[in-house]
Chains A and B, each alone.
Chain A
């Protein structure tokens, strides 16, 4: 057990060091730096919400369109960035693999972690601003909100552990990453509630942990204004299977990787 604890301590150190290095190379020392990670999804959600509020009639459920788009779009941005940043990270960071304690999995953890912190900050910041304008309620059920986020993040991370090693061995996968993001939009519950769908479609969508996560988040935020549909055992089971496949792939790819 001491071996495990020592190893864990080293990995935490490595993740801390990689995180600050990543932030430094990505945002630089000048500029508003880290704030960009928060402003960017916010601008996007704001503009999309603005366009939508012109072209769509207000929903009978009484949820404000800006609030609805924001709660869908910020997690989607997190997914999009996490997938995008997972492509080709092993080779891009390979000079750091000279240090034995740096593992390829650390690269994925760090990237997803940074995106998560940015998305969380954007979510909270946007929520506060919308609440100030009277467009966003105080979260009805914070437990559901956090649980929804946790399921969403876990599944995205599990998919990243698959995408990252595959993008190293196959150029096709690398090119497919942006497409897979667009394909995932209808299955991620971004622009609709499961309650709006016919029951058979809804049942099929329960196979998507993203939908379960999103429904829980929306229920947590808007409370009884939405009827959530989710399947936690399915979501966790599927995520665990993906994570297992991903870990095996990471290990296999690392073993045969040429480090330059």
Chain B
């Protein structure tokens, strides 16, 4: 399957979702940069930026649903793989061509979606705009697409694959977003009562509390917990010698984004390997049970034993049967034409 054929087939089969996804991505890019520039009617641009950030949350999942999930599932559900896969273009070659063409497109559009943050004032490298990064968004998009393809192969049903992709993508993104804060151990700033905390602006605060004389975290006694000003109570009661703040400094945003991208890239590779292995073993594209379910016949043995007598039925007599040789004067074999 050469490049021209891959491009022709991909465009002819997927041009609708491709155009839709491209419009969504490019519209998002425009809204992000317009939001960052802050010129024009401020209210509408802020809203555009808000929607664009919402797209950044969901773009990978959308790519998985509209392009990934139907890619194999539709071929299997509508059984068009019978005409697509054959001697000249095997199932693996077909999948490889499609995944390269559509995967590259999805990654590029994902990178575009992550090109801006939508926030004014150059906040694109802060924790607040963590997902506004081309590598991160490309990773999400590649993962969403590969997830959709894998689920489509396993479910062999488009609607089921789409729904399962939404659920699985959301689940993975949610779980990893909780893990994200712990890619690196947090830094801890400790300030005695007479000092001020020295947490860098733009840091991601992960927790805070009080420290004792040994500068280790201590709990809040019940008597202070009931107070409106807990810090004042802790200090006057000498229950603590200061406060602490656990945080991820803004200088780590880039490193965390790289870890995030790498994590999704690894998941993508794992899904692609799983998909190709499943397809090469034929497990994913065997006709479903309903395609060729058999009744429950008793498999007859082929012994040449004489069958049991049946009800009285006149044998033969129908059609153009000819007399056999040696009987009723038909001495020669009868030719049939």
Asked if A pairs with B, the answer is: no
B residues sitting closer than 8 Å to A (CB atoms) are none
A residues sitting closer than 8 Å to B (CB atoms) are none
